[in-house]
Structure 1
């Protein structure tokens, strides 16, 4: 009877429907259980797995909430100030740098005139702001890309994730305080000083790069193989929810309460985020191995040790070390995958609004409605993937990513050749699995990398994600400017070209996962399995 049950479990695993306990895995599974996809145990294999005992979805979600209460207010706070910062730069350039006068600058702010004078003035102001955006983008992307590798190494050595999560929140607080001063001393502080306040505090504290590294490392520390996809999905769901909320409120709050009001609300949200962090986020207790005398280090020596190049070298060695199950190639593939998925998202940000103005004659409100609708569609796709595809059917992460990126590829052609608003919105529905494409990528990293190495590996693999805005931003702008007169949607085809390799990477990861699963079960003793002539198990 026992042998028959073991055969049933093995057969179900090969068909994507098994999910065994850690104790059972030690008897049936090879040394590397991460190579086996998270799936579900067949009904009737144990009393605890009976269908009528399944937990409700809402209760399961509540039990898996950890970093989300801290992450949500921080993301809202950082998104709220984006529109205010853009308008502050325009007003600083107009009133302080160019001194165009109140009449012209008020008209630029309110957008209630359409004269030639206003158009010429806006072009002059935007050129000045665009020049500043170049060094702002480089500063905000390059500094966190380097800093996160040292911080990720420190986080892994000490198994401390919460300080890394809260550091960018403190940076956001410093930025908002500085911007309040820039608003108060409006005429005294130039546009470039304001731009420095907008970029430097968040750059040296890591911004979203560091907080994402810490959040996903923490999730990896406090998750099992069975619930990693769910917890990674909840984090991405939080990110997906914060985008439409922050974007939708930013314009309303700016019009209602102005610069100072937006920055004060952002400060309050950051304080709430820190409070939530201390309530919900608790690091794993560090195991101290040295029992001898402790050598006290000066602060200077600690700083030198923190920024030691050896940690940087070790991070690359850990990330790309050669291990069983082709781990090195998987990490390299995932690094390219991150770049291929996040790059087009960054490039699209700079030209999407300009495209809709030319193609459909949209204004700011119409574009905001489309952006919010798109985010809500992605949110629904993410929720369906987590609640049904992952939880109920246990579909492999790489297979989800393959389907999601294929949908993204098709959507680019819909966007590029759309001639009506209806068709353009249809492209957003075709691309409704954009969120799960990112979730799958993060989930795979969390499953193949041990918890004690997640910080370093996440830091190294995120280099492409941080460097890509410096490359994709100018690329998309150049393509859009070059094709504006005859085919303004050409940049969507650039996204399509970048997306094609990501589909094949996801397919390769899926095939690798299936191959490793079958090889693992083929190594089991013949006495426990019934195999056909091809080595495939059966009942």
Structure 2
């Protein structure tokens, strides 16, 4: 079938992205609801109004229920971060050796089983919300959504050429954005039009469709005979020492110090992203927003982020030729300003949330610019290892920052639940200070990178994009042997 050459991983990508956003939004609502009546013994009829009705009763109940829910969420954060981190670091190397398709199928089967287990637990109306942590086990042991995205991106690099990669990655971006938008906009209406059981049956079914489609219609992109991966084979390709040595080795022109400073900026910037783990709780408790209002705002914000990232990168970077560090600083300042505005918002001033969403549309630019700078400093052969370390930093950071911000939110819920936004702005500001210092230092460009920069544009293409905090950097074979490196930070519903 001719269409099978051009429409491959985009189908499971769209289905899974839609399911992810649907699941994040609905799961938060369901776990708060279950915590309210099954764990804390509040009246079930009143608990059912949470996230659905705006009144004094629900506003008061949110503040009583959220601290307990947040403890459950903190345990969930640790569970969903540690095990997938191993897959995130090494699945690219593993799939190079054993093929992309087995790891895609493994992740999809895990996601299907996880949602199937959740559906079964939902059937027991008085089941404790702690029981839902059991449902995560299948996806934890198979890498989950993050692993799936890494393998899909690597697959696209395999099946595209330097001439077609721009289009394929653009389609990737559109599909991610479309899935995010649809999942956000549909979630509340689907939930209130049906029930939790029906929503999870739909999510499980769509993951099942994605698995079947991948098995029958997506061909393997790694050619040649491949052995069935065994645990001892997988462990053979884990080498953290090599990654560390490559990062900290001496480099000419103070390049090592510059590279470590850039990684430090990444550390502070990603640590500030922990605010997203409690953003929905803040909107529900302090502003008394309903799930519908939250998801519609999230949908519009997602579209704004895509426009801001693409437009900012094209017009400010490509046309106006503004430097990478200056654009990264501009992006960080816009994120900090947006955080401060959100922290100042109240029920009477909830329009601050909309203003903040507009101001923060350029947030995605900083990730692109920082990754571009790294590609200047190191040789093409080293990029993969440096990005592997960056992936480690980002994923460990997101786990720790989520825990920190959830603890801050719990501690300040009854006083000023928006304080975590000011903490985020401060941490992000430290990243901005780091960039200001680097602006006074010349970028130590690696000789091989300098040679590549002199090539005509049609011989060297670089595509960078950020969709709803799922960052992707693609460097074509002219530069780095079809390397794809990703950093993910999922936004809790």
> 1:453-472 counterparts in 2 under 5 A?
458-472=387-401
Counterpart of 2:360 in structure 1 is: 431
Structure 2 CA distance for aligned equivalents of residues 455 and 79 of structure 1? 29
> Which of residues 28, 34, 43 in structure 2 aligns to 1:86?
28
Counterpart of 1:367 in structure 2 is: 294
1:432 aligned counterpart, secondary structure: helix
Counterpart of 2:15 in structure 1 is: 73
Residues 1:182 and 1:401: Cα distance change in structure 2 (over 3 Å): same
2:111 is the alignment partner of 1:172: yes
Structure 2 CA distance for aligned equivalents of residues 506 and 227 of structure 1? 35
Query: How far does residue 338 in structure 1 lie from its aligned partner after superposition?
Result: 4.2
CA contact (8 A) 1:159 1:283 kept: no
Q: Larger deviation: 128-137 or 399-408?
A: 399-408
Counterpart of 1:408 in structure 2 is: 335
Residues 1:489 and 1:160: Cα distance change in structure 2 (over 3 Å): same
> 1:252-267 counterparts in 2 under 5 A?
252-267=189-204
2:364 aligned counterpart, secondary structure: helix
CA contact (8 A) 1:74 1:273 kept: yes
Counterpart of 1:304 in structure 2 is: 232
Query: What is the CA deviation profile of residues 196-243 of structure 1, one whole-angstrom value per residue up to 9, with x for unaligned ones?
Result: 21x222222222332343344445666778987886666455444433
CA contact (8 A) 1:80 1:249 kept: yes
Residues 1:339 and 1:444: Cα distance change in structure 2 (over 3 Å): same
Structure 1 CA distance for aligned equivalents of residues 383 and 171 of structure 2? 18
Counterpart of 1:193 in structure 2 is: 131
CA contact (8 A) 1:174 1:201 kept: yes
Residues 1:240 and 1:446: Cα distance change in structure 2 (over 3 Å): farther
1:283 aligned counterpart, secondary structure: coil
Residues 1:433 and 1:404: Cα distance change in structure 2 (over 3 Å): same
Residues 1:430 and 1:127: Cα distance change in structure 2 (over 3 Å): closer
Counterpart of 1:132 in structure 2 is: 72
Query: What is the CA deviation profile of residues 495-523 of structure 1, one whole-angstrom value per residue up to 9, with x for unaligned ones?
Result: 22222344466674995277869965999
What is the TM-score normalised by the length of structure 1? Answer: 0.66
Counterpart of 1:251 in structure 2 is: 188
CA contact (8 A) 2:55 2:288 kept: no
Query: What is the CA deviation profile of residues 261-304 of structure 1, one whole-angstrom value per residue up to 9, with x for unaligned ones?
Result: 2122223332443466565675243599xxxxxxx99x8xx313
2:210 is the alignment partner of 1:268: no
Query: How far does residue 316 in structure 1 lie from its aligned partner after superposition?
Result: 4.0
Aligned-pair Cα RMSD in Å: 4.6
Structure 2 CA distance for aligned equivalents of residues 368 and 160 of structure 1? 37
CA contact (8 A) 2:100 2:151 kept: yes
CA contact (8 A) 2:94 2:237 kept: no
1:285 aligned counterpart, secondary structure: coil
Counterpart of 1:348 in structure 2 is: 276
1:307 aligned counterpart, secondary structure: helix
Query: How far does residue 343 in structure 1 lie from its aligned partner after superposition?
Result: 3.0
CA contact (8 A) 1:233 1:386 kept: no
1:173 aligned counterpart, secondary structure: helix
Query: How far does residue 140 in structure 1 lie from its aligned partner after superposition?
Result: 0.5
2:278 aligned counterpart, secondary structure: helix
> Which of residues 133, 142, 148 in structure 2 aligns to 1:211?
148
Q: Larger deviation: 370-379 or 175-184?
A: 370-379
What is the TM-score normalised by the length of structure 2? Answer: 0.71
Residues 1:230 and 1:423: Cα distance change in structure 2 (over 3 Å): farther
Query: What is the CA deviation profile of residues 20-40 of structure 1, one whole-angstrom value per residue up to 9, with x for unaligned ones?
Result: xxxxxxxxxxxxxxxxxxxxx
Query: What is the CA deviation profile of residues 438-492 of structure 1, one whole-angstrom value per residue up to 9, with x for unaligned ones?
Result: 3445566678788887766544322222222332234334545666677654433
> Which of residues 411, 425, 428 in structure 2 aligns to 1:496?
425
Structure 2 CA distance for aligned equivalents of residues 457 and 313 of structure 1? 12
CA contact (8 A) 1:229 1:390 kept: no
Query: How far does residue 362 in structure 1 lie from its aligned partner after superposition?
Result: 4.0
Structure 2 CA distance for aligned equivalents of residues 126 and 523 of structure 1? 56
Give aligned pairs, total.
Answer: 446
From the CA coordinates, give the structure whose radius of gyration is larger: 1
- Structure 2 gap ranges (5+): 456-493
